[in-house]
């Protein structure tokens, strides 16, 4: 499967399925200006109708790197490495990354990822507007009793 399936959609929720992690490399996007195809990348915002994040699921082949360093105008990014290992570069800094690494980059940081290993690297990248979060952890949440069962 390399297309997004809608599981459920209602007034408070949109749920999709993109397929197993082994299939993320079958997706690709076309960059709008350069018309260059980037394989192994799935953007989720339109599919999930998200309003606070743009999330991408990414597969980087062995020994490959993101095509360019880039920075952002307004958005902070958080990268979560799920599989594989490599090198993360920010400005003049570089450091090894692997499964379980989480990297938060401010908009102005010039960043790139290289997969230095012989196996696929999988990672999630989350864009959100820098400084936008007001409440967090569990403070923004409220438990509810529902269907007559008290929590």
**Which listed residue (27, 40, 59, 88) binds a copy of itself by CB under 8 A?**
88
The tokens describing 140, both together, are: 């923004």
Q: Which is nearer to a copy of itself, 23 or 63 (CB)?
A: 23
Q: How far is the CB of 113 from a copy of itself (least distance, A)?
A: 12
Query: Segment 16-45, which members bind a copy of itself (CB under 8 A)?
Result: 16-21, 23, 31-32, 43-45
**Which listed residue (3, 35, 118, 144) binds a copy of itself by CB under 8 A?**
144
C-beta separation of 94 from 79 below 8 A = no
Q: Is 148 in the site for a copy of itself (CB under 8 A)?
A: no
Query: Environment class of residue 101 by beta-carbon count within 10 Å: exposed (0-12), middle (13-18) or buried (19+)?
Result: middle
- Give the x/- contact pattern for a copy of itself in 98-137, rule: CB under 8 A: xxxxxxxxx-xxxx------------x-xxxxxxxxxxxx
Count of residues interacting with a copy of itself (CB under 8 A): 85
Q: How far is the CB of 62 from a copy of itself (least distance, A)?
A: 19
Q: How far is the CB of 120 from a copy of itself (least distance, A)?
A: 15
Residue 99's contacts (CB-CB under 8 Å, 6 or more residues apart) are 81, 82, 83, 84, 85
Whole-number Cα distances in Å, 97 to 47, 56, 79, 102: 29, 18, 10, 8
Q: Which is nearer to a copy of itself, 17 or 28 (CB)?
A: 17
Residue 71 CA to residue 75 CA, distance in Å, equals: 9
The tokens describing 57, both together, are: 């699921």
Q: Is 53 in the site for a copy of itself (CB under 8 A)?
A: yes
Interstrand relation of 5-10 and 13-17 (parallel, antiparallel or unpaired): antiparallel
């Amino acid at each position: 499967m390399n297309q997004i399936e809608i599981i459920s959609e209602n007034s408070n929720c949109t749920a999709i399925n993109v397929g197993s992690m082994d299939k993320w490399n079958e997706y690709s996007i076309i960059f709008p200006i350069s018309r260059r195809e980037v394989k192994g990348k799935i953007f989720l915002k339109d599919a999930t109708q998200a309003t606070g994040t743009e999330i991408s699921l990414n597969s980087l082949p062995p020994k490959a790197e993101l095509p360019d360093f880039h920075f952002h105008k307004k958005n902070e990014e958080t990268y979560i490495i799920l599989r594989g290992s490599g090198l993360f570069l920010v400005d003049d800094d570089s450091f090894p990354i692997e499964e379980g690494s989480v990297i938060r980059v401010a908009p102005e940081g010039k960043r790139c990822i290289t997969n230095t290993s012989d196996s696929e690297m999988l990672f999630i990248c989350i864009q959100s507007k820098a400084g936008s979060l007001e409440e967090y952890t569990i403070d923004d949440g409220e438990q509810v009793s529902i269907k007559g069962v008290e929590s």
